[in-house]
Structures are given as C-alpha cells and as structure tokens.
Homo-oligomer: A and B are copies of this chain.
Amino acid sequence: MSRPNIQLGREGGLKHFLTIDGFSRSLLTDILDTAESFTGVSERTVKKVPLLRGKVICNLFFENSTRTRTTFEVAAKRLSADVLNLNISTSATAKGESLLDTLRNLEAMHVDMFVVRHTDSGAAHFIAQHADPHVSVINAGDGRHAHPTQAMLDMFTIRRHKGEFTGLRVAIVGDVLHSRVARSQILALNTLGTSEVRVIAPRTLLPAEVRTLGVHAFHDLEQGIRDVDVIIMLRLQKERMRGALLPSEHEYFQLYGLTEERLGGAKADAIVMHPGPINRGVEIDSQVADGPRSVILQQVSFGIAVRMAVMSMALGNQAQGAVR
C-alpha cells in the first residue's frame, strides 16, 4: 500500500468505514471480534453501554431509508450517543446550500460522526476526504458502490454459523450488477479467505468486469448453488423490470427464485441470507425465507452489534481487546 488508506487513523486503527476495499483481514476480524463483545448488550435488561456518551452521531441521509437509518439509530443509542436525524433532500439543499457547506456547518456544531447514505457512488468518500480531522464517516450505502456495514454483518452471521471462512463455498444470487451490497460482500469474503465465492445471475445483471472480482460466475441457479455452504440472495429492485434488463417478475422467479426444492442442491447445512427487505415470490419463496435454514432475521440482530462495533472503533472507544 503506497497510498495511505484514508479509512485508517494515524495509528492504523479504524477512522472511517467507507468500503471494504483496502482493509486487511486482521482489521475485518477485529471488527467481527468487537461486534461479538456487543451482542450481549442487546439481551441485557438495560440495553446500553456508556461508551459514546456525549458524542453526537448524525444520520445524514440523502437517500431515504427508514430501515437502515433505524439500525444505526438503535446502535448509536445503545452506545449512549446522541443522534441527529437529517434528511438532506428536504432541507438545506432546497435552500441551495452546497453539500460541503452543510458538512462544514455540522462539523462546526461538533458532530462526531456522519452516517451517510447517498444515491451517488463515492459520496461517503467525498465527505470523508473533506471532513474535519475530528470527524468519522460511515458509509451506509452510496449508489452502486458499497454498503460495508451490511457486508460486515453478513460476515458476522456467516462466522457465527460456520466458524471459519477458509473452506467455505459462498454463492451470491441476483442482481450483482446494481448491487452495492454484493460488491462489499465479495471484497469481504475474499479478504477473509473464503475458498470460493460464486455469483449467480443472468448475463444482463452481471458486471462486465466480473472475472476481475475473484469470483466464479454462473448463469444457472441449480448449477451455481451446488454444494455451497452459504447462499446470499440479493434484493431485486423492481424498477429494473421497467427497462429491458429483465423479463417479468414471474419469469425471474422461475429462473432465479430460491425455492425449497432448489435449496436441496446446496449442502445439507447451508444457510440462506438476504439483506432485506425481501420480495417474497420474486427472488425468494416464503417457505425458504421463513424456513429453518434462513438466518435473515439474525442478520438484522447482528447488524446492531456490528454497527456498534464500527461506531465505537471509529470513535476510538473500542470495547476491550478490539483493534490492534
């Protein structure tokens, strides 16, 4: 690494969390270990730790997502931080203020962390590059680029069920082309030493550069799913149907929808994951989504612990033993 990683602080600890790209296996493992120490907090009677008391965490959402915002809000409050929810599309920019001016103003109020969601790829990087040194930035999804906390909660879920990444065969199924989640998952899986990462999608929904990603591409679901340990279904954005990229929802389900029958081709103890919200009967059958192999709701629970880990590490208040 000749170019210093903007995501790391002076002493090599986590500063921003923008993308999985550039992080070492050991740092990703630190995040998972720190998250492990937080899973207990959600089950206590008093579900709070005072790690971030007095810190102000600002959910800066340029793209509306109640669901994602809520997970960060719950994680922040569990760490005893104060939370500001700002939906920017409806406020400052309406008055013609530039993104940087909005940022500078919030920094001047001594906000400690921005959790950024934006429709443009690179928005969180842009903010981190221009942010004051005392501020941390967490990417909560930027365009088609990355959604690293989602990927890390997926890694956490896999590790909980499978222990090691080495030896695992993981399949990601669906609209890889448009998915920031898939991009982040592939990077994390490879960094953590997963033996084989497969992507399964119609040609129209795979990026041209798919081979450079370190994955095996399949266009047939049954073939791709054979003997895998983990199946990660992607959400199908229904707006893709309008363009020429896809046939009907019905036809998509016929070809790429995960059913009990198809799940039979995977390993007997394979787990099924999905970042949510799920489209029942489009990319996944309800029988599978609600079945014994599904760990979809565990992903949500672990997501709180993983976000607590990332937030507390970035603000330098690591739970004991975290961050080398």
Binding site for B on A (CB under 8 A): 42-48, 53-56, 64-67, 70-71, 73-74, 77, 82, 84, 86-88, 90-92, 95-98, 101-102, 104-111, 238, 276-280, 297-301, 303-304
A298 to chain B, nearest CB (A): 7
Q: Which residues of B contact A95 (CB under 8 A)?
A: 277
Q: Is there contact, CB below 8 Å, between A84 and B74?
A: yes
> CA A297 – CA B297 in complex, angstroms?
44
Q: Is there contact, CB below 8 Å, between A101 and B56?
A: no
Q: Other than the known A66-B87, A92-B277, A96-B238, what 4 A-B pairs have Cβ atoms closer than 8 Å?
A: A46-B54, A48-B53, A74-B109, A96-B277
Q: Is there contact, CB below 8 Å, between A74 and B56?
A: yes
- Closest B residue, CB atoms, query A316: B45
Q: Is there contact, CB below 8 Å, between A110 and B47?
A: yes
- Closest B residue, CB atoms, query A300: B108
Q: Which residues of B contact A70 (CB under 8 A)?
A: 84, 86, 106, 109
Q: Is there contact, CB below 8 Å, between B64 and A54?
A: no
> CA A90 – CA B65 in complex, angstroms?
10
Q: Is there contact, CB below 8 Å, between A84 and B91?
A: no
> CA A66 – CA B62 in complex, angstroms?
14
Q: Which of B47, B102, B109, B276 contacts A105 (CB 8 A)?
A: B276
User: Which of A56, A107, A280, A304 has the most CB atoms of chain B within a 10 A radius of its CB?
Assistant: A56
Q: Which of B84, B87, B304 contacts A110 (CB 8 A)?
A: B304
Q: Which residues of B contact A56 (CB under 8 A)?
A: 47, 74, 77
Q: Is there contact, CB below 8 Å, between B277 and A101?
A: yes
> CA A304 – CA B66 in complex, angstroms?
27
- Closest B residue, CB atoms, query A42: B110
Q: Which residues of B contact A98 (CB under 8 A)?
A: 280
Q: Which of B47, B54, B86, B96 contacts A44 (CB 8 A)?
A: B54
> CA A48 – CA B44 in complex, angstroms?
21
> CA A297 – CA B110 in complex, angstroms?
11
Q: Is there contact, CB below 8 Å, between B300 and A109?
A: yes
Q: Which residues of B contact A104 (CB under 8 A)?
A: 297, 300
Q: Which residues of B contact A65 (CB under 8 A)?
A: 91
Q: Is there contact, CB below 8 Å, between B43 and A48?
A: no
Q: Is there contact, CB below 8 Å, between A97 and B277?
A: yes
> CA A109 – CA B304 in complex, angstroms?
7
Q: Is there contact, CB below 8 Å, between B96 and A298?
A: no
Q: List 22 A-B contacts (CB under 8 A).
A: A42-B110, A45-B54, A47-B56, A64-B90, A66-B86, A67-B105, A70-B86, A70-B109, A74-B82, A74-B109, A74-B110, A96-B277, A97-B277, A101-B276, A101-B278, A102-B277, A104-B300, A108-B297, A108-B301, A109-B301, A109-B304, A110-B304
